[in-house]
Homo-oligomer: A and B are copies of this chain.
């Protein structure tokens, strides 16, 4: 057994490695995850094996380029674990990622129709295999944990959003009800958002103001100690 050495022992084992991504976006229907229909008529998370000449990062980028293409996303590694399947009995490692995408990229909608790919509501994305179910569950757990400790939630909102959209995002992800007036106060006081000179159009009620995420203020918010606590 080799300790802390760079030299590999003869017994070192070799693995094939796959990258599996849980890609989320948020629209009026709520939180959704991107699933791919494979040749066996099963829906699963987008997944690639790492090929010769590629790395972990380049492979995850390939997946994103293929399905999302846009540059505006948030990506975070979840966990590496041993995996096996019918075709590749055991010598595998899977690295899971979760990815957040803004919904205002129309490209997505048009592009995806051509592929065997679809956005699924979270609670309808069942019948995944065990591996993908595990990654999806872990993603959601992380999303719930991180959304209050950082500003990653804004990666799921359009560039311009209303406060109701933001509030509903937090409500759905955290599974709680939030008081409208308190939500506003908190966001304003923290300086998380700044108002734009633009309003909704063609809505059958009072038009809401659009806001954008205020990155400059967020950076000042003594990073690391940031907490929204709903």
Contacts and interface: CB of A to CB of B under 8 A. Distances in A.
Interface of A: 1-9, 11-17, 36, 38-39, 44-57, 62, 66, 77, 79-82, 85-88, 93, 95, 144-145, 149, 224-225, 227, 229
Nearest to A87: B6
A50 B12 CA distance: 6
Contacts of A66: 3
Q: Which of A3, A15, A47, A95 lies at the interface centre, i.e. has the most chain B CB atoms within 10 A of its CB? A: A3
A51 B86 contact: no
A93 B80 CA distance: 10
A188 to B, nearest CB: 21
A52 to B, nearest CB: 5
A79 B50 CA distance: 17
20 contacts: A1-B51, A2-B49, A5-B47, A6-B88, A8-B16, A11-B51, A12-B49, A12-B50, A13-B16, A13-B51, A13-B53, A13-B54, A15-B17, A56-B80, A56-B81, A56-B93, A77-B80, A93-B93, A144-B224, A229-B229
A182 to B, nearest CB: 16
Nearest to A116: B3
Contact of A44 (B4, B50, B80, B86): B4
Nearest to A57: B82
Given A4-B47, A11-B52, 13 more contacts: A1-B51, A3-B48, A3-B66, A4-B44, A6-B85, A6-B87, A8-B49, A11-B49, A11-B51, A13-B49, A56-B82, A57-B82, A80-B80
B16 A14 contact: yes
Contacts of A86: 6
A5 B39 contact: yes
Contacts of A14: 14-16
Nearest to A55: B82
